[in-house]
Amino acid sequence: MRAPLRNPSAALGISVGVALGVVLMHGPATAASMPANASTLSVCIDTSSPVAPMDRKLAQAVASQQHRALAVHEFDGSGDDDGYDYKNFRALAADQCQIILGYPLDATRGTAPAGLVATAPYGRIGFVLVTPSASRADSLASLPKGTDVAVTNETMPNLYFENHPNIAADIYQKDADTIASLVEHHDRAAMVWRPTIVSYLLAHHLTSDFKWHQLDEPHARWNLVGLHDPAQAGAASAFDHSVAALRDSGGLEPLLSPYASVSADGTRGVRRSDAGTGSPILLVSAAAAMTQPAAGGGSPDAAPALYTAAQADAGKQKFADNCAQCHGDNLEGMAGPALKGDLFASAKANFHVGDIFNIVVKNMPSTQPGSLSHDDYTQIMAYILQQNGYPAGSNPLVFDATLTSNVPLIYRGK
Ligand code: HEC
């Protein structure tokens, strides 16, 4: 297994080709550029997203259904290693269009970025199992024992092997390599983000050689929604109604196919407030932590003593029992990212102790989030700090205080 790269956008899990970094390429936003006219529907479409052609067709159909003209504002949402900035989405929604199409939300607990509201889901996407079309498997459980399955490092499907001892992970750093291993018949199956594999197969005229099935695994199902400014509630509700009308008349499915399916949720009138109040997914909160500027920017020179030696000792064993299977015996990273060193806690990543502790407490172990006691988590955090070069001291690390700790977490070159 190769050492994982720490890449904030890859750590988003869904970043594989989805709208996850927004760079405005079409000039500064001006209020004048948004057609405020009631006879025009204006949408923003991310040209870097594999679902852009689908969103374009959907927008056209919705505009026709409303007897309105369509104005499309294109933007390039491909991010860089610094992750992406919700402010750009808010600026788009404020100035450029009534609705930003093609935003993926985790079907179990995704929420719209702060300051924006999500439309009802209009499509169902997610991570799929891809196999040669001759395969009879339609789920991980139905793959023959011993099947190697290609996955991209730090994407959700890395977590699915745990529950399926019949298969083994073949981990690649990039989606392109994961897909190549399948297409070149090196691996007999792959788990990939549906729009990414579908656009690849379409472009290479391979759609009849391979087939895909939605995975029925934790956080494999995602909804496509539009995002809008709270002030555009009227346009959004009209959009929801048009989508519902298209769906009822059978017109929606052909627009979404083959990138996405019709959302099975019966979504008419489901607004964001009804759509679940769970915390944002781990991956998004991790990215947000990375893009937030340092409050006060603490100095990396003085490594404070934050825990006792006894805590770190106890944490070492608990880490081995609960975390090492994914993060490695020496925190070097395996299915999960490395938890020590420059790739983990670089000054650039701008992590604070509280950011990491929140991820650990709320989302880890990823197969059973929140399943350990407060003491267990605190001791494991002490061990992670020790391994990143922080000294032991006489005051113990305290659970509640650590959740809000603003102490910078920077690898001290131990
Ligand atoms: C079943 C595998 C698995 C187990 C067990 C697990 N993790 Fe993770 N962890 C992951 C994966 C995968 C990620 C990357 C995000 C993702 O894709 O979910 C992650 C992310 C993290 C992160 C965020 C790292 C970053 O750079 O953003 C931390 C911190 C973390 N895990 C700590 C722990 C700790 C502590 C434990 C034990 C209590 C643990 N994990 C157990 C799979 C696991």
Query: Which atom of ligand 1 is the closest one to the Cα of 156?
Result: 17
Q: What is the CATH number of domain 293-403?
A: 1.10.760.10
First to last CA, the chain: 24
For the segment 365-373, the average pLDDT, to the nearest whole number, is 90
Decide if pLDDT at 144 tops 80: yes
Helices (H) and strands (E) in the chain, counts: 12, 10
Q: Which amino acid is at 327?
A: H
**pLDDT higher for 313 or 90?**
313
Same fold, 10-124+222-274 and 126-214: yes
User: Tokens 């000039």 correspond to what residue?
Assistant: 27
| Alpha carbon of 124 to ligand 1 centroid (Å) | 26
| Alpha carbon of 334 to ligand 1 centroid (Å) | 10
| Of 332, 334, 366, best ligand 1 pocket probe by most atoms within 8 Å of the beta carbon | 366
Please answer whether residues 384 and 331 qualify as being in contact, where contact means their C-beta atoms are separated by less than 8 angstroms. Answer: yes
Decide if pLDDT at 182 tops 90: yes
User: Tokens 């992750």 correspond to what residue?
Assistant: 83
Name the superfamily (CATH) of residues 126-214: Periplasmic binding protein-like II (3.40.190.10)
**pLDDT higher for 135 or 107?**
135
Query: Which atom of ligand 1 is the closest one to the Cα of 356?
Result: 29
Please answer whether residues 189 and 129 qualify as being in contact, where contact means their C-beta atoms are separated by less than 8 angstroms. Answer: yes
Query: Which atom of ligand 1 is the closest one to the Cα of 384?
Result: 35
Per-residue pLDDT reduced to its tens digit, 39-66 = 899 999 988 888 899 999 999 999 999 9
The DSSP output letter for 276 is -
Decide if pLDDT at 31 tops 80: no
Query: Residue with the nearest Cα to atom 36 of ligand 1?
Result: 323
In short, whether 344's Cβ falls inside 6 Å of ligand 1 is yes
**pLDDT value at position 36?**
52
Cα–Cα separations (whole angstroms), residue 300 to 115, 346, 348, 359, 388 = 33, 10, 11, 22, 12
Per-residue pLDDT reduced to its tens digit, 299-355 = 335 678 899 999 999 999 999 999 999 999 999 888 888 899 887 887 766 778 988
Between CA 120 and CA 40 the distance in angstroms is: 21
Between CA 128 and CA 40 the distance in angstroms is: 36
**What SS3 class is residue 58?**
helix
Query: Residue with the nearest Cα to atom 28 of ligand 1?
Result: 360
Cα–Cα separations (whole angstroms), residue 107 to 61, 186, 278, 289, 401 = 25, 32, 11, 22, 32
Between CA 377 and CA 305 the distance in angstroms is: 18
| Of 9, 279, 327, 351, best ligand 1 pocket probe by most atoms within 8 Å of the beta carbon | 327
Decide if pLDDT at 290 tops 50: no
Q: Is the CA virtual torsion 57, 60, 62, 64 positive or negative? A: negative
* Top-level class of domain 10-124+222-274: alpha beta
| Of 12, 319, 323, 340, best ligand 1 pocket probe by most atoms within 8 Å of the beta carbon | 323
Between CA 11 and CA 287 the distance in angstroms is: 7
**pLDDT higher for 298 or 414?**
414
Decide if pLDDT at 269 tops 70: no
In short, whether 191's Cβ falls inside 6 Å of ligand 1 is no
Query: Which atom of ligand 1 is the closest one to the Cα of 344?
Result: 26
| Alpha carbon of 277 to ligand 1 centroid (Å) | 23
User: Cα–chain-centroid distance for residue 44?
Assistant: 20
In short, whether 337's Cβ falls inside 6 Å of ligand 1 is yes
Lowest-pLDDT range, 219-233, 244-258, 346-360? Answer: 346-360
**For the chain, domain boundaries:** 10-124+222-274, 126-214, 293-403
